Every structure is written in structure tokens, then in C-alpha cells.
Amino acid sequence: MKKFLFGLILVCIMLVSCKKDHSKDHGTSTTTHKVAFNVGFSKSTGAFETSNLKTNGLKENAADTALTNHADVLYFAVYDSNGGNITTVKQLSTDPGFGSYTDNLASGTYFLVVAAGGNNLIVSGDKAKYVDVPRKLSTDVLAYGFDEDINNGYLSWHPFTDDTFYKKITLNVTNTDINQSISLDRITSKLVVNIEDALPANAKTMYVLTNPSDKFYIGSGTGSISEGNNEIISPVSAAQIGTTNFKLAQLFLTSAPFSVNVYCSSLPPPPPYTNIPNIIANKNISNVTGQPNKVTLLSGSLFGGTTTHSTGGFTVSVDTTWNAIPITKSF
């Protein structure tokens, strides 16, 4: 009996020893380190207000690095070295500690994506043939939602009409904690259309229709191929009849060259999803481009005015002050 008990004790000691050796070999997989980040903007980032477009004006604000002045929501998305999503945290501008993020990660390499924008901004897996794509760095997107009708095979992403910011960084977590500040970059551009000639007496509504990118791939930092439809609709007041340099503006996501269609109608705006009625003038400007944090200016004659340009079309320029030399194209 004593021999049996001695043998049993010896086996238990061996098993415990083996377990201790196994844990030591993989100790870094369970030891975590604190990673903390504070988010802000580069000093060259200025604000763009769309509310004042009702009075046909464009306003450029001074540089402002306050996060709550630029963003309603903020995302922190962490991915492992293979691009798999570990966690995604959403913060609202009204949340305490908005712009600060703390996590605990084991030693290794990670990718952190930080994005900020308007209320409807999402970080999401892409959609393919109306099926959700699993969350992965190479296919995840920033977007402003979508409309989907599976029965009729319809999927439409919403345009980027809110100011949007982004940064992707690589985290190498070793045996020390990380405390870092992150400066986000603007990924949106601004389109300004300037009608140089006088608005005729029968002008009631101005339209600008575009088809820029409608989702942003966070892994590559690029916009999708131009797919979506975006529009500006601006009523023409009696006081604006006969005036020149009428401006319309909107934000858009930088993408491959796209087209811009400018229309003037003699009637008030129609109901949504209907054709523009009574068009009295229109222009199509193709191969329009943009750059992040810059303004693309399209300027020219819509009603057959005397203004001419050597290019035979709208002038296009890019402004950078929103960062200060415009991309100009004439029409």
C-alpha cells in the first residue's frame, strides 16, 4: 500500500511539473499590456459648414483641433496580425472620455483603425451579392449606411456627405505599456460648383448630381470605385435672379475620376426619386477628381454667358485649407 501511495504521489508531481513547463513556454500569450490612445486632428484641418449654403455662401473656419467640433461618433477597431477583428468600440461625442481609448493586449503585432465622422458613420464588413462579408481588415469599410432590398436585388450605399477622418497604425506590443496620441487625417474632399453667368429670370432650382465613391476600405485606405449617386438641390430666390457666381457645395469621398452634372430647372424641386422637371440648362463635366482635405472647384458658364475658357469647359481647381490652391476645371 505504501509503495502504491508513493508511486501515485510521484506521478502527480510529474504531471504538475509538466504543466508548469507548458505555461512557461506560452507565457506571452496570456500576459497583457496596457495600450492607451488620445485622438485629435492635425492643425491644418479646418471646418466646413454646410448650413450657410442656404444663403449661397461658403465659409472656411480657422484650424480647430477640438474633436467634438468635428465629429459626432468615433470608432476604435483593433485587428490581429492576420487582419481578424478583435474588437470595435464606438464612442459618441456626448460620452465621457470621448476621444480616449484604453485596452489590454498580449504581446504581438496589431493594427488599430480610428475613424471619426457624422452620426451615421459605421465600421462594417463589406457587402457582396447582398450577403454580409465577415469582419476583416482587408474588406472592412467606413460607410454611412445603405439601403437594401434582397428580394429585388437592390443595394445602395449612402454618400459621404459628412466630414470624415481616419488613421490606421501598426501596434507592436512588447513588454511595456503604450500611451500614444493619434492625429486623424481628413479623407473627405469638398466640391464647389460656381456658375459664373447671371441666373435667368425663370430659374427656380439648381441641381448638381455626382457619382463619387460611397465606401472607404480601411485596410488599403482607398475609396471604392465610383458607384453611388449624390445630389445638391438649391432653390433660387427672387433676390438671386440676375446675380453671377452662384455657388453650390458638398462633401464627397475621394475616388477615381467621376462625373458631375449641373442642371437648372424652372420649377421647384420635385418629390424624391423623380426626374428633374423643366430643365432649362445643363452641363456635364467628366473626369472630375479630388484629393483628401482639398477643395475641387468647378467654375464656368451654364446659360451661354460670355465667359470662355481655353479648355472649353468648367475650370477645375483644388484648394487645400481646408487646405489653399484649388483644383480648377472650367465648363
Render 209-241 in DSSP notation, one character per residue: EE--B--EETTTTEEPSS---EEEEEEPPGGGT
Three-class SS state of 27: helix
Indicate yes or no: pTM above 0.85. no
Co-location of 195 and 182 in the same domain: no
Instruction: Based on the fold, state whether residues 182 and 196 are members of the same structural domain.
Output: no
Task: Say whether both 117 and 171 belong to one domain.
Answer: yes
pLDDT at 22: 32
159 and 197 inside one domain: no
DSSP 8-state class, residue 43: T
**pLDDT reported for residue 322:** 61
From first to last of the 331 residues of the chain, give the pLDDT tens digit: 444 444 433 434 333 333 333 322 323 456 888 888 888 766 455 555 433 333 233 344 445 567 888 899 999 999 999 999 999 999 999 999 899 999 999 999 999 999 999 999 999 988 765 567 789 999 999 999 887 766 666 677 888 989 999 999 999 999 888 888 888 899 999 999 999 999 999 999 999 999 888 899 999 999 887 666 788 999 999 999 999 999 999 999 977 888 899 999 999 988 776 789 899 999 999 889 888 988 899 999 999 853 333 333 454 544 445 665 567 777 7
Q: Identify the pLDDT of residue 324.
A: 54
Taking the alpha carbons at both ends of the chain, their separation in whole angstroms is: 102
Residue after which a domain boundary falls, among 138, 168, 186: 186
Compute the distance between CA of residue 200 and CA of residue 82 in angstroms, rounded to an integer: 60
Q: What is d(CA 85, CA 79) in angstroms, rounded to the nearest whole number?
A: 4
pLDDT of residue 46: 52
Q: What DSSP character marks residue 4?
A: H
274 & 255 share domain:
yes
Is the distance from CB of 215 to CB of 142 less than 8 angstroms? Answer: yes
Answer yes or no: is 11 within a domain: no
In this structure, the strands spanning 295-300 and 188-195 are parallel
- The pLDDT of residue 39 is 86
Distance (Å, whole) CA 194 – CA 297 = 7
Q: How open is the CA angle 256-83-138, to the nearest 5 degrees? A: 20
Q: Which amino acid is at 31?
A: T
9, part of any domain: no
Residue 21 counted as domain residue: no
120 plus 83 within the same structural domain: yes
Specify whether 302 is located in the same domain as 174: no
Tell me if 64 sits within 8 A of 45, measured CB to CB.
Answer: yes
Residue 70 sits in the same domain as residue 203: no
Report in angstroms the alpha-carbon separations of 313 from 196, 282, 329. 12, 12, 7
For residue 51, the 8-state DSSP code is: G
Q: 179 with 39, same domain?
A: yes
Give the DSSP H or E segment for 2: helix 2-25
2 in any annotated domain: no
Residue 22: inside a domain: no
Same domain, 238 and 166: no
40, 166: one domain = yes
**Structural domain includes residue 38:** yes
* pLDDT reported for residue 27: 31
Establish if 289 belongs to a structural domain.
yes
Predicted pLDDT of residue 119: 95
Domain count across the chain = 2
Q: Which of 153, 169, 186 is the last residue of a domain?
A: 186
Residue 178 and residue 50 in one domain: yes
Q: Which of 266, 316, 262 is nearest to 291 (CA)?
A: 316
Q: Of 125, 152, 186, which one is at a domain's C-terminal end?
A: 186
In a domain, 59, yes or no: yes
| Residue 161 CB coordination number (10 Å) | 18
Q: Residue 65: which domain range?
A: 32-186
Q: Residue 87's domain is classified under what CATH number?
A: 2.60.40
Q: Chain centroid to CA 175: how far?
A: 34
Q: How many CB atoms lie within 10 A of CB 53?
A: 16
